[in-house]
Structure 1
Amino acid sequence: MTDEKEIQARRLAEKKAYRLTLTGDAAELIKTLKERSPEAWRSYVRTVEQQAKIKPKVFDVIYHTVLALFPGRDTEQVVDLIARMLEMVQQELRDEEGASE
């Protein structure tokens, strides 16, 4: 039984570590997009606000930025990173909305 608890604890710790890595990487990605591609960034934020699909050109900018910043990432890791960025931007928009009320 202890072994099972240890395995579960290890898996949870690995998930937390991965989430922290994703958060740091997503913050770096956001900062880079704001600096290098401000129009693509604004378009992305509008997309998130509207809960619409990312325009192909904007997605390409994001995707190529991810590959430039984090070479060697596989598709699943890129998807995870973009998903984390989406969550962070959604939270930021909610926080801004709450502050304005």
Structure 2
Amino acid sequence: MEEIIIIPAIFIGLPWLILHYVTKWKTAATITSDDEVLLEEMYQLAKRLDERMDTVERLVAHDHVDFKPARLVQDPEEDNLKLAELEKLVAEKRGANS
């Protein structure tokens, strides 16, 4: 009698359970076009804020000699290296979508 329950559970229930959750994971991992637009807006805002912070730190450092900004890196290329990598990825994404 136990075989009647165990065999369908293994050959029907287990694959159904696995396929069910695989489908759930695939649908949850996607990003919508609205999400992409929001991320692009947030990226542009973060970029503008970074530029403003650099300007403020330069102005304060110019006015006060003992001011040592923790965020300001002496080499602007090094400071913006990750931003350049992100801009490259965004440009590649736009090129792929066109």
Is the TM-score greater than 0.5?
Answer: no
Bigger radius of gyration? 2
TM-score normalised to structure 2 length: 0.39
TM-score normalised to structure 1 length: 0.38
